[in-house]
Amino acid sequence: MPLVFVPGAGLVPGRFRPLAEALAAILVLAVCAAIALGSAGTFAPLASITGRPISLDPAWLPYYALRTVLRMLAAMAASLVFTFVYGTIAAKSRRAEPVLIPLLDILQSVPVLGYLSFTVVFFLSLFPGRVLGAELAAVFAIFTSQAWNMTFSFYQALRTVPHDLDEAASEFRFPAWQRFWRLEVPFAMPGLVWNMMMSMSGGWFFVVASEAIAVGSHSIALPGVGSYVAVAIEREDLRAVGWAILAMTVVIIAYDQLLFRPLVAWADMFRVEQAVRQSSHSWFLQLLRRSRLIHWLSLPVTGLLDWLLRARLLNPPPHPARPQSRILDMLWYGAVLAALLRAGFFLVRFAGSELQWSDVATTFRLGSYTLLRVIILIVLAALLWVPLGVMIGLRPRLAERVQPLAQFLAAFPANLLFPPAVFLILRWRLDPDIWLSPLMILGTQWYILFNVIAGATAFPTDLLEAASEFRFRGWQWWRQAVLPGIFPYFVTGAITASGGAWNASIVAETVSWGNRTLSAQGLGSYIARMTAMGDYPRIVLGVAVMSVFVVFFNRVLWRPLYAFGERHFRLD
Minimal CA–CA distance to 407: which of 258, 269, 283? 258
End-to-end Cα, the chain, rounded Å: 14
Where does residue 140 rank: exposed (0-12), middle (13-18), buried (19+ CB within 10 A)? Answer: buried
| Lowest mean pLDDT across 169-173, 229-233, 380-384 | 169-173
Q: What is the pTM of this model?
A: 0.76
Within a domain: residue 403? Answer: yes
pLDDT at residue 20 above 50?
Answer: yes
The H or E element that residue 361 is part of is helix 357-393
Note the Cα 267 to chain centre separation in Å. Answer: 18
| Cβ contact 336:99 at 8 Å | yes
Task: Write the Ramachandran bin of 474: left for phi over 0, alpha for psi from -120 to 50, otherwise beta.
Answer: left
Q: From residue 365, how far is each of 344, 410, 448 by CA, in Å?
A: 21, 31, 28
373: confidence class by pLDDT, cuts 50, 70, 90: very high
Q: What is the pLDDT of residue 276?
A: 42
**Mean of pLDDT values over 316-330:** 57
User: Using a CB cutoff of 8 Å and minimum separation of 24, what contacts does 48-56 make?
Assistant: 48/131, 49/131, 49/134, 49/220, 49/221, 49/222, 49/223, 50/220, 53/221, 53/231, 54/221, 54/223, 54/227, 54/228, 54/230, 54/231, 56/228, 56/231, 56/232, 56/235, 56/237, 56/240
Residue 273 phi, psi (nearest 5): -130, 130
Distance CA 230, CA 235 (A): 9
Q: How many domains does the chain have?
A: 1
CA atoms 88, 89, 94, 97: torsion sign: negative
Give me the domain span that covers residue 130: 41-277+354-568
**Mean of pLDDT values over 424-434:** 84
Count helices and strands (H / E) in the chain: 29, 4
Distance CA 139, CA 71 (A): 6
Distance CA 266, CA 481 (A): 27
Q: What is the pLDDT of residue 317?
A: 47
Q: What is the pLDDT of residue 286?
A: 79
215: confidence class by pLDDT, cuts 50, 70, 90: low
Within a domain: residue 283? Answer: no
| Lowest mean pLDDT across 74-78, 388-392, 414-418 | 414-418
CATH classification at residue 412: 1.10.3720.10
Distance CA 308, CA 303 (A): 9
Q: From residue 221, how far is each of 213, 403, 572 by CA, in Å?
A: 6, 32, 52
Hey, which bits of 373-523 come out as E strands?
510-513, 516-519
Within a domain: residue 109? Answer: yes
Residue 45 phi, psi (nearest 5): -60, 145
Distance CA 542, CA 362 (A): 10
Within a domain: residue 28? Answer: no
Contact residues for 116 (Cβ-Cβ < 8 A; gap 6+): 137, 141, 209, 210, 213, 215, 531
Q: What is the pLDDT of residue 218?
A: 62
Distance CA 413, CA 440 (A): 11
Q: Is 519 helix (H, G, I), strand (E, B) or coil?
A: strand
Within a domain: residue 312? Answer: no
| Cβ contact 71:143 at 8 Å | no
When the pLDDT of each residue in the chain is averaged and rounded to a whole number, the result is: 78
Distance CA 38, CA 158 (A): 37
| Lowest mean pLDDT across 124-128, 182-186, 323-327, 418-422 | 323-327
Distance CA 280, CA 399 (A): 8
| Lowest mean pLDDT across 223-237, 312-326, 394-408, 440-454 | 312-326
Task: Write the Ramachandran bin of 534: left for phi over 0, alpha for psi from -120 to 50, otherwise beta.
Answer: left
| Cβ contact 531:117 at 8 Å | yes
Within a domain: residue 431? Answer: yes
Q: Is 511 helix (H, G, I), strand (E, B) or coil?
A: strand
323: confidence class by pLDDT, cuts 50, 70, 90: low
Q: What is the pLDDT of residue 173?
A: 75
pLDDT at residue 346 above 70?
Answer: no
Within a domain: residue 221? Answer: yes
Highest mean pLDDT among 249-263, 308-322, 329-343: 249-263
pLDDT at residue 194 above 70?
Answer: yes
What is the CB neighbour count within 10 angstroms for residue 363? 24
Residue 400 phi, psi (nearest 5): -60, -40
**DSSP letters spanning 214-246:** EETTEEEE-SSHHHHHHHHHHTT-HHHHHHHHH
12: confidence class by pLDDT, cuts 50, 70, 90: very low
**Mean of pLDDT values over 263-270:** 76
Give the model confidence (pLDDT) of 146-157 as tens digits.
898 899 889 988
pLDDT at residue 326 above 80?
Answer: no
Where does residue 477 rank: exposed (0-12), middle (13-18), buried (19+ CB within 10 A)? Answer: middle
Distance CA 16, CA 8 (A): 17
Q: Longest C-alpha distance within the chain, in Å?
A: 74
Give the model confidence (pLDDT) of 112-131 as tens digits.
766 776 778 788 888 887 88
Q: Which amino acid is at 407?
A: Q
Q: Is 312 helix (H, G, I), strand (E, B) or coil?
A: coil
The C-alpha angle with vertex 229 and arms to 223 and 230, in degrees rounded to 5, equals 85
Distance CA 176, CA 316 (A): 9
Within a domain: residue 308? Answer: no
Distance CA 425, CA 419 (A): 10
Look at strands 218-221 and 516-519 and give their pairing.
Answer: unpaired
Contact residues for 241 (Cβ-Cβ < 8 A; gap 6+): 229, 232, 233, 416, 419
| Cβ contact 177:312 at 8 Å | yes
Scanning 291-325, the segments in alpha helix (DSSP H) are 292-310
